[in-house]
């Protein structure tokens, strides 16, 4: 991937080991490249747009990325969540999300995905892009990072040297862990 920004901000490998996606650059012009590991070919994803936070589905040939216009006014500027099928080299589905997204995680069954956004986690249904639920933990600021349990049941967010956990299934929250 010698033609890319050397600052890699995210790497993901598909569940079948056929694909590698790399996100490059931080704020001014983030880009993403998709590499077919079997053939050794590389393509830029959504040229002309800001592309970030890629994630592969654990169950099918599906890559989720968040795109934004080349010029973004602020963190609340709407973005697009796009589902790309790398094997067929085509866009499968897309829908608008309400602002900056810092991480995407598919649920283990691949039927839903979570977007970690400024101060909230949103669960979406992959099949149609329907927003299923929004989780807003009771922290004192907008968080940028979150850890999600392997079964996508618990989310942990940092706050001033402590961690807060919340359960995505029932809304239970644990503070100051």
Euclidean distance between CA atoms 119 and 130, whole angstroms? 20
pLDDT tens digits, 6-60: 678 788 999 999 999 988 876 556 788 999 999 999 999 988 888 888 999 999 9
Is residue 99 left, alpha or beta, with left meaning phi > 0 and alpha meaning psi from -120 to 50?
left
Count how many Cα atoms sit within 13 Å of the Cα of residue 48 in the half-sphere of its side chain.
0
pLDDT of residue 160: 72
pLDDT higher than 70, residue 144: no
């Amino acid at each position: 991937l010698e033609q890319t920004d050397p600052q890699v901000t995210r790497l993901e490998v598909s569940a079948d080991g056929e694909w590698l996606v790399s996100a490059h650059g931080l704020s001014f012009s983030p880009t993403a490249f998709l590499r077919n590991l079997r053939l050794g070919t590389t393509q830029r994803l959504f040229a002309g747009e800001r592309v970030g936070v890629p994630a592969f589905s654990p169950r099918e040939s599906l890559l989720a990325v968040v795109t934004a216009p080349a010029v973004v006014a602020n963190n609340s500027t709407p973005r697009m969540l796009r589902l790309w099928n790398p094997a067929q080299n085509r866009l499968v589905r897309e829908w608008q999300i309400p602002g900056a997204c810092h991480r995407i995680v598919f649920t283990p069954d691949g039927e839903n995905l979570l977007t970690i956004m400024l101060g909230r986690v949103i669960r979406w249904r992959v099949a149609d892009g329907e927003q299923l639920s929004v989780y807003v933990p009771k922290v004192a600021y907008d968080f940028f990072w979150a850890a999600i349990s392997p079964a996508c049941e618990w989310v942990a967010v940092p706050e001033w040297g402590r961690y807060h956990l919340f359960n995505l299934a029932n809304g239970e929250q644990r503070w100051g862990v």
